[in-house]
Amino acid sequence: MRSARKMPLEEIAVTHAQNVVAVADRMNGILRKEFEETESGTVPDLGGTKWRYEFCIFEMFWFWWVAISPKFSEAGWTKPLVDAYQRACYEAFRRAGLIGETKEALREWEDDVEAKFLAYKEAYECELAEKIKEPQLHGLNVSGRGSVGRLLVHHVIRDGTPHWRLILLLNELGRNHLHGLVEMFNTLETDYCSPKSRWKFWK
């Protein structure tokens, strides 16, 4: 593999970060139409600031999860990707009015993002392990218990049982976003790195 300097890592990260709020809002619009007549209490206020904030962090997680993969770490891509991505995401959140403009607001946001990322990482990796170990039982988990989607909703509504279909849709959106990122980086690897067969980033 060629040096990571050959790939415009910061440009890639910044481009994705600049669109994180717009992408999340677009996906959120689909969810709002889907659940506009659903009983309140089982679905968060999908138009509220708290939900937009949490949903954007959920979108951010998938880029971060790819960026910290062993392959990216070995290639020297992780730090430049993560640093540029989080700086640009902060600016996107700030412009969207989702966080304040003070240094204290920045520190609180950074701490919150780190905590949420680690929680989502644990949930997603447990989900992957369950699929491998007990695929039949995993398929029976229609409530999405322990999933990243369930965790996202829990950050907004603590009481009651969230709508099962919302959890499934959130998990599907997350997987689709992840697969899109993988395909994008595979294409970039072909363009910028030594010719060879595509590799899976998690190996």
198 to 3, 188, 189, 195: CA distances (angstroms): 17, 10, 8, 9
pLDDT in tens, the chain (203 residues): 444 447 899 999 999 999 999 999 999 998 988 888 766 667 888 889 999 999 999 999 999 999 999 989 998 999 999 999 999 999 999 999 999 999 999 999 999 999 999 999 999 998 888 777 665 554 444 445 678 999 999 999 877 778 888 999 999 999 999 999 999 988 888 777 655 544 444 44
